[in-house]
Structure 1
């Protein structure tokens, strides 16, 4: 697991007294990473704390859910607690800050991440897609594909292993919709709002070319046959230089007969019906 870790019982067996362990800990020569597990001060890093907790977990435990996604590089939804997957019926010691998920679906071929066993990326993604809100789940799947943690076929294959489990219908729908081209959480959520309203699936990150075949601008979401462009405007669009660029960009796109609509966080989270009504009207306008 990388750095050398010492169990309290091992220190006592090697000749240390309880008082020595206490004094070395108080002097910061020894660090208590978790109950009963210590490391030299130089080795007391966050990944070693993770490894130390795994020293207390039963055989077969692997990092999963939020923690697994973070270890694989697509931790879009954070959790302060460590999430692990254990086989059903496993007795897990109560450890502060650890959430143990008993699973009837075995974790096949775990991988090592930061020195600890971790469920494969597709397993972590689908577990989250089953259990998170839809608006949180799709960004996780999009980011999983975007960083290359797994492939779309792997997501769909993983869903098949979870049939009859809670939330599997949602996970199956979202795995089909997941797209590695999505570039931010809000863009994924905007796409989901449109799809859940019964509108066609828009195409993410579409390049628009000039008459010489030079790619000039990208649009967050498009219905290319109708020349409808949809943009999420976050706080970065309030920058003065960005505003000037956006104005020039919008004028050029309008000259090319693109019908652009821009939405903000207020639209996305407080009045999504405004978004769907606006885009539906455009789609039905000749």
Structure 2
């Protein structure tokens, strides 16, 4: 096999001549699939495996010494994907620079100025990154409400931050844009959420005026097997589950879920309301209204 171009290291598209390629040859090779894009303007030989280490090297190419990796890209470096669904394949680097410093203007990089205390910056494989606590606080403040709660849940579930220290931190953010929302959402945080979809669903229920549901409700079938329902109210035998696209798209997946739910409904009297991305988002509030009817609670109109 031929050796990797640039020894398999990422490179920026502004320097293909340094790799022995003309601009035309580079575009032709890109069209033929010989290279793949890691971030906008950063590429690598398409045969090189996609790893965390590779992306860290790529991040170094667009992060000058005075910049700090932040927001969704920082959480990704810590192992938690908080990018909104439409941007998960882009992995756009987000950077912070201190007030008074010049912003990074590399193509495909987001950069903003912000105040940063020394204890809010850590080093990850040679990159300066906002600490897990600062990262979580920023995500809670800056992301859209359902995505923000999913980010907080994910960081807490990964044990990168504790609920007590996070609560104390967001309470200290007086005057920061989005701080009231962050304080509210941190109060709703739950490490039991196993996916962003479960976080979105739980917030939809809470924002509709329903009682805060329990997560990962343990149940046992007649054969002694442990099972778990995503969300719900054990005392009312009402469960809400989120069927995401990743694990509930095939007919066999749907059949398995239907059999499981039918069994617990028939044998133990559980009642299920199933949410999907289409029913949790959008204007139709049928999802939470159905739960409310089972609980005898009138739900409030949607605000997001």
TM-score range, shorter chain: 0.7 to 0.9
Unpaired runs of at least 5, structure 1: 6-20, 29-41
1:111 is aligned, of 122, 144, 165, to 122
Cα shift at 1:104:
2.8
Cα shift at 1:46:
3.6
Cα shift at 1:155:
1.8
Q: 1:27 to 1:279 in 2, by over 3 A?
A: closer
Q: Counterparts of 2:104 and 2:154 in 1: how far apart (Å)?
A: 33
Q: 1:211 to 1:46 in 2, by over 3 A?
A: closer
Q: 1:49 to 1:169 in 2, by over 3 A?
A: same
Q: Counterparts of 2:218 and 2:134 in 1: how far apart (Å)?
A: 32
Q: Secondary structure at the match of 2:281?
A: helix
Contact 1:57 1:93 in 2 (8 A): no
Q: In the alignment, which residue of structure 2 is the partner of 1:73?
A: 79
Q: Counterparts of 2:291 and 2:208 in 1: how far apart (Å)?
A: 10
Q: Are 1:248 and 2:248 an aligned pair?
A: no
Q: Counterparts of 1:102 and 1:160 in 2: how far apart (Å)?
A: 22
Q: In the alignment, which residue of structure 1 is the partner of 2:233?
A: 223
Q: In the alignment, which residue of structure 2 is the partner of 1:160?
A: 171
1:63-91 Cα deviation digits (max 9, x unpaired)? 11121111111122146432122222223
Contact 1:227 1:259 in 2 (8 A): yes
Q: Secondary structure at the match of 2:180?
A: helix
What does residue range 53-132 of structure 1 map to in structure 2 within 5 Å?
53-54=62-63, 56-58=64-66, 61-77=67-83, 78=88, 80-132=91-143
Larger Cα-atom Rg: 1
Cα shift at 1:192:
0.5
Contact 1:84 1:98 in 2 (8 A): yes
Q: 1:25 to 1:237 in 2, by over 3 A?
A: closer
What does residue range 195-210 of structure 1 map to in structure 2 within 5 Å?
195-210=206-221
Q: In the alignment, which residue of structure 2 is the partner of 1:139?
A: 150
Q: 1:103 to 1:258 in 2, by over 3 A?
A: same
Q: 1:116 to 1:268 in 2, by over 3 A?
A: same
Q: Secondary structure at the match of 2:95?
A: strand
Q: In the alignment, which residue of structure 1 is the partner of 2:56?
A: 47
Q: Secondary structure at the match of 2:154?
A: helix
2:243 is aligned, of 233, 245, 256, to 233
Contact 1:80 1:97 in 2 (8 A): no
2:289 is aligned, of 272, 277, 280, to 277
TM-score computed with the length of structure 2 as normaliser:
0.73
Q: 1:256 to 1:88 in 2, by over 3 A?
A: same
Q: Counterparts of 2:251 and 2:272 in 1: how far apart (Å)?
A: 21
Q: In the alignment, which residue of structure 1 is the partner of 2:280?
A: 268
Aligned length: 251
TM-score computed with the length of structure 1 as normaliser:
0.77
Contact 2:137 2:170 in 1 (8 A): yes
1:107-142 Cα deviation digits (max 9, x unpaired)? 515222232011111211211111111021111111
Contact 1:107 1:119 in 2 (8 A): no
Cα shift at 1:260:
1.5
Contact 2:243 2:274 in 1 (8 A): yes
